[in-house]
Amino acid sequence: MDLVRLATAGSVDDGKSTLIGRLLHDTKSLPADTLASLERLSIERGLDHLELALVTDGLRAEREQGITIDVAHRSFQTRRRRFLLADCPGHVQYTRNMVTGASDADIAVVLVDARHGLMEQSRRHAFLAALLGVRHLVIAVNKMDLVGFAAEVFERIRAEFEAYSAKLEVQDVAFVPISALYGDNVAARSPSMPWYEGATLLHHLESVHVAADRNFVDVRFPVQLVLRPRTAEHPDYRGYAGRMSSGVLRVGDEVVALPAGLTTRVVGLEVAGRAVAEIAPPLPATVRLADDIDLGRGDLLCRPRNRPTVTQDLSVLTCWMDDRSELAAGRALLVKHTTRTVRAVVRSVDYRVDIDTLHRVESPESLRSNDIGRVTLRTAQPVMVDPYHRNRETGSLVLIDPQTNATVAGALVR
């Protein structure tokens, strides 16, 4: 089965946790003890239905406040696919959590409360999903039961989002009217909405074609560790361990090691100690080369005629995540890119994105917590990058405060 990574997002109290609970419940993915606990808690709260949001609201503060704070991960499977779910927070102060939760998603489900329509956080999360390279968006108009399952409410929200999404780089957007609380159009069609002729949410998630989204063309193998056991059985063994980021690498392929630029050939590939003929993403593997070249952690193997850009000057879109400081020109940072960590300095803050209008605010003094904008960085050593829309692995990086070692931002190479 394909493994599909799914993220739910949207504004506060749009029903994200309830939707995930409903998906787990309707696909019979809840363990018996969890189901019994939900039934007990629902009775204690005087409810006439299962409080499915408690499936993912695992932190005590989340249950007390009725909100999602941290990213909760759950998994389930159908006859066609296995899904890994990330339930992302809706509060604006937890936007950074949404970024981490959706950073590797194949599909993003953005919930919209049918009573309130498209809110600021709905727009923010849709924009972030597009920014993070999520190629498939589903706009789930939730709580249709609270608006009398009215078709005109659904169509109004659809038109509003289509006008907004015209500015986003997302080609595949689907709209589904649902009631996560009662299961309408989630796993089974709703008799209360005969006017809706599309697929249920679960059927759509099973049908989205995600295999073509992965990059099997550009060979990128960042080296994480050099293996030299020096045992009597393998006195001259030298392998380079890492995880295949993109492309397909085969025994016999000619490769070049960057940033040095030395060319050699692959003589062996191993996965979990077993020799294989080829590797593809996202397999962790060990590569053995024909020549003993100077190659270590942070270096990268690629094809001689298909190389990433080797540069010290980076123009990136970033989401600033630190509550205690701002991002301004002259600030020193650490840049974590694939397996390489280098020092860097912010040369300029070029613009900030207005989430509501998607217009640029040119040359702001700084970026504050949850702001998104473009900055220019200068690194102390070369990094090997691709545009993010082409390669998520080599097109993304993490910014770290060198004083506290805290992650302060995520960034994408445009």
The domains of the chain are located at 2-213, 221-302, 309-413
Question: What is the spatial order of strands in the sheet that 136-142 belongs to?
Answer: 72-77, 81-87, 2-10, 107-113, 136-142, 172-177
pTM across the whole model: 0.81
Q: Which numeric CATH code is attached to 309-413?
A: 2.40.30.10
d(CA 315, CA 1): 38
Look at residues 181, 134, 164, 152 and name the one whose alpha carbon lies nearest to residue 412.
134
Q: Is 40:201 a contact under the CB 8 Å cutoff? A: no
CATH superfamily of 2-213: P-loop containing nucleotide triphosphate hydrolases (3.40.50.300)
Look at residues 173, 171, 178 and name the one whose alpha carbon lies nearest to residue 201.
178
Please state, as a whole number, how many other Cβ atoms lie within 10 Å of the Cβ of residue 186. 26
Q: What are phi and psi for residue 144, nearest 5 degrees?
A: -65, -25
Per CATH, is 221-302 categorized as 1.40.20.10? no
Q: Do domains 221-302 and 309-413 have the same CATH topology?
A: yes
Q: Which tokens belong to 353?
A: 């994105």
pLDDT in tens, the chain (414 residues): 688 999 888 877 788 888 888 898 889 888 787 788 878 877 877 776 777 777 765 544 444 444 444 566 788 889 889 998 888 775 566 666 777 777 788 999 999 999 999 888 888 888 888 888 888 999 999 999 999 999 999 999 999 999 888 878 787 999 999 999 999 999 999 999 999 999 999 999 999 988 777 889 999 999 999 998 877 777 788 999 999 999 999 999 999 999 999 999 999 999 998 999 999 988 899 999 999 888 999 999 999 999 999 999 999 999 898 989 999 999 999 999 999 999 999 999 999 998 777 789 999 999 998 888 999 999 999 999 999 988 989 999 999 999 999 999 999 998
